[in-house]
């Protein structure tokens, strides 16, 4: 497993197109076994990156909103004191 793969689905933070494209490029590099394709394979490589990016975008758009982690909820509650009336 590639250890440098980032989690893109974060609570309350939308994923940017740049993040999706970078993740798709990393994935295609990993499965193709090449960092820089030959000229003969460049078109197929680029198409693979576009298709992985589009599939990832569809996946993330179809998933329900992710709840904030306990650590994030605790951090927000510590920063914002409760209001008493």
Q: Kindly state the helix (H) or strand (E) to which residue 7 belongs, with its residue range.
A: none
Residue 9: CA atoms inside 13 Å, Cβ hemisphere, count?
12
Structure confidence at residue 52 (pLDDT): 96
| pLDDT for res 31 | 95
So what's the pLDDT on residue 25?
Answer: 94
Spatial CA neighbour of 27 closest among 55, 12, 5: 5
Q: What is the pLDDT of residue 8?
A: 77
pLDDT of residue 48: 97
- pLDDT tens digits, 14-72: 888 999 999 999 999 999 999 999 999 999 999 999 999 999 999 988 887 766 666 65
As beta bridge partners, residue 10 has: 13
């Amino acid at each position: 497993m590639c250890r440098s793969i980032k989690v893109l689905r974060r609570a309350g933070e939308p994923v940017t197109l740049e993040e999706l494209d970078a993740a798709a490029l990393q994935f295609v590099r990993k499965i193709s076994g090449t960092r820089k394709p030959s000229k003969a394979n460049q078109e197929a490589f680029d198409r693979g990156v576009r298709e992985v990016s589009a599939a990832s975008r569809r996946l993330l758009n179809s998933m329900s909103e992710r709840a904030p982690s306990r650590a994030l909820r605790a951090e927000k509650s510590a920063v914002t004191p409760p209001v008493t009336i």
